[in-house]
Amino acid sequence: MAVKAYDLTGRTAFVTGAASGIGRACAVLLAQAGATVHGADRDAQGLHETATLIKDQGGTARTHHLDVTDHGQVRRAVASCERLDVMAAVAGIMHSSPVLETRDEDLDRVLAVNFKGVLYACQEAARLMLARDNGGSIITMASGAVDIGGPGLLCYGAAKAAVVQLTKTLATEVGRYGIRVNAVAPGWIRTPMTDRHDAGAQAHTEARMSRLSPLGRVGEPEDIAHTVLHLASDASAFTTGQILRPNGGTTMPW
């Protein structure tokens, strides 16, 4: 029964940020669970590679080359789905700058991708789910940055905190229609987005982050994808408005 609850056969999932990292891992795992996966990203080559991975494993994939900060592009892509059961709004960017050195354009860009892009995906997914009247699961990507303070985290942390508020608010508004809305707040995950582009610096960062975790390691994209699969599936049928923290225990309270 527990295994059957994770079966997404006959369902459709839409994943933003599907070209690499966590987004790619989510798209591949949701397809392995039986879903038809619509992947969206501005990286056309990476998106093609993700679709190829899915198809080579016998899955079904559609691709949408788009910019999540363009509401019209997101609207048209989501509307092209005949039905929608799962939205995983994963697309995001990293940015770090001290508060006193943060420029308007830095804040605008991070909010555009990490908050507005998630908002647009959630809005269009909810509209389609409501129109089809078949319920669904909307999953947003927050961050462990919402639980901590640290140098340079203003733009990134503020955008992710806004995602948490979006998640909780939307959950209260669409729950009566059988639509669940939850967020995933990962810890440090080894992805192209967290790549320091310097082997020494990367090893130092990963060693430091590993020491913060009782498990003694940093995360992999697949660690987050499995959390997303849980939220996408019937196994989490009574879960909504929640923030799941697959972070290796790095933000446990004292």
Helix axes 154-174, 104-111, angle to 10 degrees: 30
Torsional sign, CA 186, 245, 81, 75:
negative
156 is catalytic: yes
Distances (CA, A) of 67 to 75, 103, 161, 191: 11, 22, 22, 20
CA-nearest of 227, 24, 54 to 140 is 227
Q: How far apart are CA 115 and CA 113, in angstroms?
A: 6
Single out the catalytic residue among 6, 120, 156, 177: 156
| Token couple for 13 | 């999932």
CA-nearest of 157, 131, 123, 155 to 16 is 123
Alpha carbons within 13 angstroms on the beta-carbon side of residue 97 total 12
Q: Give catalytic residue positions.
A: 156
